[in-house]
Amino acid sequence: MTSLKDGIFSNRKKVFSAVLLMFLALFVILAYNYINLFAPFSGSIWKFSDGSARVKNPYGWAEVYYDDYGVPHIVAENEKALYYAVGYVQAKDRLFQMDLHRRLMKGQLSEVFGEDLVDSDIFHMEMDFYGAAEASWKAFEKTEFGSLIQAYCDGVNYYIGHSELPMEFKLLSYKPEEWKPADVMLVGKEISWGLTGDFYDLQRSIIAEKLGVEALELYPSHLNHTYPIIRTNKVDKALLDWLRPFEAKEGVGSNNWIISGKYTKDGSPILANDPHLALTVPPVWYEMHLKTDDLDVRGVTFPGVPAIIIGQNEYVAWGVTNVGADVIDFYYYIMDGDKYLYKSEWRDVIKETKKLKVKTDKGIEERDITVRKTIHGPLIEKNGKMIGVAWTGLTATREFLAIYKYNHAKNMDDFIEGLKYFDVPAQNLVYIDKYGNTMYYPAGKFPIRYIDGEVVPGNIIFNGSAGEGEWEGFIPYGTSTWEGFIPFEEIPHLINPDYVATANQRVVFDYQYYLGDSMYFADPYRGMRIYEMIDEAVEKEKKIDAEFIMEMQRDIYSKPAEFFVSQIIEAYDKISEKGKPYADELKSWDYRMDKDSKAALVFTLWLRHYLNETFGDEFYSAGLDKSYYPKVWVLQNLDRNSKWFDDIKTQQIENRDDIIARAMDKAVDEIEKKGYRVYGDYSKLRMNHPFGLEFLNYPDLPASGSPFTVFNFRTDGTPFQTGSSWRMIATFNGSYCVIPGGNSGNYFSEHYNDQIEMWVNGEYKPMSFEVQGEKSLIFEVER
Amino acid sequence: MKRIIAFIAGLIITYFHWIGLLFGGALLGIFSKDTKWALVYGFLFGLTVWILFAINLAMMGLISKYTAMGIIFYMSILIPVLISTLSVSIRGLL
């Protein structure tokens, strides 16, 4: 009896154990990838490159010292050894970011992230940015910088082949392809597109079509040219809606200024620069210090690019802002199937089929994408509507040669020699040198368009079949000769100005060539404010130093607030009883967009509603959203009784005061509904990693500043935020800088976001030329 | 003594590969006097692995980053505890 009981008990135990073991086996099988990733100690996610290492270098010895902010100081015996080390170091700190941007521009995101990014991939494949990057490399390969680019790529690839990949690759289960010289060029194309790839010409055409040609008064041209025809029906709104997510983003801009030694404390010039780009995790810029016997340069570059793009060396310092010029044109054609008419001759559209790989539940799916091109460039197609695109970046461009020459420049002549190669994106370049020289030069390729032999602006859609608006000497995806562009010497520039400030505002009055219309250039508020501060200091004979420039870069005074608040006060009697206490906040306001200010909150939300209440009725009725609204400057200068203030949905005629009052009510409703107390409750820095994992995001922080203040920060509630992506003050007696985040893209690094609070508070760290920190990486000669 | 050796051997292997969790758990199961104690030892072994791992990250100054990792943090606790606890059940088949 007992043995039977024992037997049953023993069998039950066995069954119980077997069930547990089956459960264990099931867990291991189902969670196998996760166990390999996350198991304590051995999980691959816990392995990262952040320590010291000895690395073979085929080009010579090099040493890397990381300073207190994770900035690599790279010292090498020659430039090839240097660039090899730069490649290794950038891959170590930013490899996932580099690969992500390469995938974006090559149209390979959906292979990793799935269906949601198919449209982005199709657009980037159709534009064939990679074809243009290959053309650039072909033209570049034989230059003095070509072999250095190759050495850089070797360094990146050594890292990919021999070191720990960043955690993002492990989570996505893929390994990056090797880094090629054309990939370096592609990074340049991405930056250029991000700054100049605007569809304003198409937008202008749609506005004229939907709201009537008279609506173009909201988008004035700065030229006296009255070329009247904004051709309609050549672009479909659905096509434009599809394209717009891929154009240069709103809010991208920059500030820079230089002040000659005449007005500075130590008698030598000062330069300030803060490019306003997307605030991303990790930051768009990577800071480094490069040193050989012949070179000593420090500043920032884009990960994937080996040379310093903004920075200084022992002799010169330079900074850039976007000119914002119109360097993109659009063409329509008379089509017959796969042929297009061009100057009375039928030509075949050049077609190439490319494979788009898309990650799906069933694995990688391959789809055919047809890339079409005409004589002008890519032919973008959606819903049967086609539009040809010419963009200065879609040819072999030489901006990296320019940058290489900047890095090596010893004086202004050397620098100007480099400027001649800066093709795209056209940049407002400011320069100072240790000899006391200053310079402003908006370098780049600016196309000249003709119709029937007459120069015309580029803000229209051209008849490509008639050969209108073509750029002479421009060969898409080839090597251009550029004769149909504004000659370098004729670009308006200033040699040794006392001071000059650029903030993406219009370059010059009454210039003989068209550079762009008001849609291309920024509202002038930041430029006005910078000049105002310098003028005041000069007037008071204040001797300017780096501290003063820091104060300027921290300036949060809002020029639009100064102008609009007086209009609000004029309309005070029409404001409701509910709105009046909020309007009262504005009466004693100092117009500073301080995160702790209630008035700044009221003004910001009021301005947003004011734009909407003024233009929303007409625009939304025509199927155009707020992205089509004109500039704030245009709104500010509308006549009190302008027809745009009248709400077309009401019987009575509204004027400016009515709309101001109505916008105040809306702002108050929003403030009360969302429980905002001060500006910082609304103006929050939210820098999110593209991966969507919360822990990879930077901490949310209340931020002062606005799109119109020198201390620049733009948020509109969407995840896309822009702001000062790098603040630099360069002198020859000590320079200062900060980036929004940290220099390392590796989550476990102490430099992942160690500068974020400094940045949001307007603080700086020294930008020293002393090699600092511990020796972390040693590159030994390969034998 | 056998259980101590099994415990240490499991820890050493786990440092290099997670198979050590299976190995350590199985040995502890085999050398335990009954199933109840086997389950306790297996659980403690998994917990010890995790605690040592957390201490290691703390010594590297990474504990706050680690605990902020959400689902990854919880997975890194679940994996050692579950695998080593379930592994002891091998004793029931012997």
A136-154 tens-digit pLDDT: 999 989 888 899 999 999 9
Query: Which residue did the predictor score with more confidence, A49 or A414?
Result: A414
Q: Indicate the residue type of A512.
A: Q
What is the reported pLDDT for A632? 92
- A21 at interface of B, judged by CB pairs closer than 8 A: yes
Q: Which residues pair with A729 in a beta bridge?
A: A272, A736
Measured in angstroms, the CA of A21 and the nearest CA of chain B are apart by: 6
- Asked if A24 has any chain B CB less than 8 Å from its own CB, the reply is yes
Minimal CA separation from B3 to chain A, in Å: 20
Indicate the range of A5-9, A313-317, A383-387 predicted with least confidence. A5-9
State which amino acid sits at residue A451. I
DSSP A113: H
pLDDT at A1 over 80: no
Whether A748 sits inside 8 A of B65 (CB atoms) is: yes
Torsion of CA A63, A408, A545, A753, to 10 degrees: -40
Q: Which residues contact A688 (CB under 8 A, 6 or more apart)?
A: A281, A697, A698, A719
Quick one: pLDDT at residue A235?
61
Helix H, strand E, coil C: the string for A222-265 is CCCCCCCCCCCCCCCHHHHHHHHHHCCCCCCEEEEEEECHHHEC
- Give the pLDDT confidence score for residue A5 in this predicted structure: 61
Report the interhelical angle of A525-539 vs A559-570 (nearest 10°): 100
Mean pLDDT of A435-444: 96
Q: Which residues of A80-103 are buried (b: 16+ CB within 10 A; e: fewer)?
A: bbbbbbbbbbbbbbbbbbbbbbbb
- Least confident stretch, A17-21, A167-171, A467-471: A17-21
Distance of CA A415 to the CA centre of its chain: 25
pLDDT of residue A508: 74
Residues of chain B found within 8 Å of residue A51, distances taken between Cβ atoms: none
The residue-averaged pLDDT of A152-157 equals 98
What whole-number distance in Å separates Cα of residue A53 and Cα of residue A164? 12
**pLDDT score for A216:** 83
% of chain A at pLDDT higher than 70: 95
Question: Among A778, A726, A760, A748, which Cα is nearest to A309's?
Answer: A726
A38 three-class SS: helix
Task: Tell me the two tokens of residue B82.
Answer: 């579950």
Mean pLDDT of A554-577: 97
Across residues A584-611, what is the average pLDDT?
A: 98
User: Amino acid letter at A108?
Assistant: Q
Predicted local confidence at residue A227, as pLDDT: 25
Chain A contacts of B26, Cβ < 8 Å? none
Q: Would you state the pLDDT for residue A511? A: 78
Ranking A250-259, A307-316, A657-666 by mean pLDDT, the lowest is A250-259
CA neighbor of A195 nearest in space, from A273, A251, A263, A259: A251
**Between residues A53 and A568, the one the model is more confident about:** A568
What is the rounded distance in angstroms from the CA atom of residue A532 to the CA atom of residue A551?
Answer: 13
A536/A88 Cα distance (integer angstroms): 47
Q: Please tell me which residue of chain A has the smallest CA distance to B90.
A: A17
**Of the candidate ranges A378-387, A685-694, A726-735, A755-764, the one whose mean pLDDT is the lowest:** A378-387
Of A232 and A87, the one with more pLDDT: A87
Tokens of A61: 């010895």
A34 touches chain B (CB under 8 A): yes
Q: pLDDT of A503-556, one tens digit each? A: 888 777 777 888 887 777 888 899 999 999 999 999 999 999 999 999 999 999
pLDDT-derived band at A94, boundaries 50, 70, 90: very high
All residues of chain B having their beta carbon less than 8 Å from the beta carbon of residue A41 are: 14-16, 49, 53, 56
Question: Which pairs count as long-range contacts for A420-424, CB under 8 Å and 24+ apart, including other chains?
Answer: A420/A488, A422/A398, A423/A392, A423/A397, A423/A398, A423/A399, A423/A482, A424/A192, A424/A196, A424/A327, A424/A392, A424/A393, A424/A397, A424/A399
Query: Could you tell me if A223 and A460 are in contact, meaning their C-beta atoms sit under 8 angstroms apart?
Result: no
**CB nearest to A747's CB, from B65, B86, B90:** B65
The pLDDT score that the predictor gives to residue A325 is 86
Residue B33 makes CB contacts below 8 A (sequence gap 6+) with none
Task: Flag if B91 and A17 touch (Cβ within 8 Å).
Answer: yes
Average pLDDT of span A318-335: 92
For chains A and B, count residue pairs whose Cβ atoms are closer than 8 Å.
Answer: 86
> Which residues does chain B have within 8 Å of residue A31's beta carbon, measured at their own beta carbons?
79
**In terms of CA atoms, which chain A residue is nearest residue B61?**
A750
Structure tokens at A242: 């599809």
A328 closest CA partner among A101, A493, A123, A127: A127
Which of left, alpha, beta for A212 (phi over 0: left; psi -120 to 50: alpha)? left
Residue whose tokens read 């974020």 = A756
Distance, in angstroms, between B6 CA and closest chain A CA?
A: 18
Higher pLDDT, A268 or B93: A268
CB contact burial B11-22 (16+ within 10 A = b; e otherwise): bebbeeebbbbb
Query: What SS3 state is found at A4?
Result: helix
Task: Let me know the angle formed at the C-alpha of A545 by A544 and A547, rounded to the nearest 5 degrees.
Answer: 120
* A69 neighbors A759 (Cβ within 8 angstroms): no
- Confidence at residue A7, expressed as pLDDT on a 0 to 100 scale: 65
Q: Is A693's CB within 8 Å of B53's CB?
A: no
Does pLDDT of A664 surpass 90? yes
The dihedral through the CA atoms of A226, A232, A616, A598 has a sign that is negative
Share of chain A above pLDDT 90, in %: 81
Q: Answer whether residue A279 shows pLDDT above 90.
A: yes
- C-alpha to C-alpha distances, A683 to A185, A328, A574, A602, A758, nearest whole angstrom: 36, 33, 28, 12, 17
pLDDT at A241: 79
Query: B68: which chain A residues are within 8 Å (Cβ-Cβ)?
Result: 695
Measured CA to CA, the distance from residue A613 to residue A598 in angstroms comes to 22
Closest CA–CA distance from residue B1 to any residue of chain A (Å): 24
Contact state of B83 with A28 under an 8 Å Cβ cutoff? yes
Output the pLDDT for position A228. 24
3-state secondary structure of A368: strand
Is the model's pLDDT at A115 over the cut of 70? yes
End-to-end CA gap in chain A: 81
Cβ B79–A17 below 8 Å, yes or no? no
Tens digit of pLDDT for each residue in A218-251?
887 643 322 222 234 556 677 777 777 776 666 6
Task: Look at residue A231 in the predicted model and tell me its pLDDT.
Answer: 32
Lookup result for tokens 């799935």: A114
- The mean per-residue pLDDT over the stretch A386-404 comes to 95
Provide, as residue numbers in chain A, all residues whose Cβ is less than 8 Å from the Cβ of B21.
Answer: 39
Q: What is the pLDDT of residue A462?
A: 94
Q: Please tell me whether residue A122 adopts helix, strand or coil conformation.
A: helix
Q: What is the ipTM of this complex?
A: 0.96
Determine the distance in angstroms separating the CA of A137 from the nearest CA of chain B, rounded to an integer: 41
Residue A40 has pLDDT above 90, yes or no: yes
- Interchain CB contact of B18 with A (< 8 Å): yes
pLDDT exceeding 90 applies to what percent of chain B? 83
* Alpha carbons A455 and A46: distance in angstroms, whole number: 62
B65 with A27: Cβ contact below 8 A = no
Please indicate whether, in this complex, the C-beta atoms of A23 and B86 are within 8 angstroms of each other.
yes
Read off the tokens for A567: 């209009």
Q: How far is B18 from chain A (nearest CA, A)?
A: 6
Q: B79, A34: Cβ pair inside 8 Å? A: yes
Instruction: State mean pLDDT over A289-314.
Output: 97
Which has more confidence, A678 or A386? A678
CA of A22 vs chain B CAs: smallest distance (Å): 9
A257 touches chain B (CB under 8 A): no
Q: List pLDDT tens digits, range B74-88.
A: 999 999 999 999 999
Give the mutation candidate from B79, B85, B88, B91 for the A interface (greatest A CB count, under 10 A). Answer: B79
3-class state of residue A336 by DSSP? strand
Mutate to test the interface with B, among A11, A13, A17, A50 (most CBs of B within 10 A): A17
Residue A694 to chain B, least CA–CA distance (Å):
8
Residue A783: the pLDDT is: 62
Mutate to test the interface with B, among A26, A34, A694, A695 (most CBs of B within 10 A): A695
Residue A561 in this model has a pLDDT that exceeds 80: yes
Mean pLDDT over each residue of chain A, to the nearest integer: 92
Say if residues A278 and A249 touch (Cβ distance below 8 Å). Answer: yes
Q: What is the pLDDT of residue A219?
A: 81
CA separation (Å) from A716 to A323, A619, A691? 24, 19, 21
Give the least confident one: A57-71, A111-125, A204-218, A336-350. Answer: A204-218
Q: Is the distance from CB of A450 to CB of A456 less than 8 angstroms?
A: yes
Specify burial of residue A364 (Cβ count, 10 A radius: 0-12, 13-18, 19+).
exposed
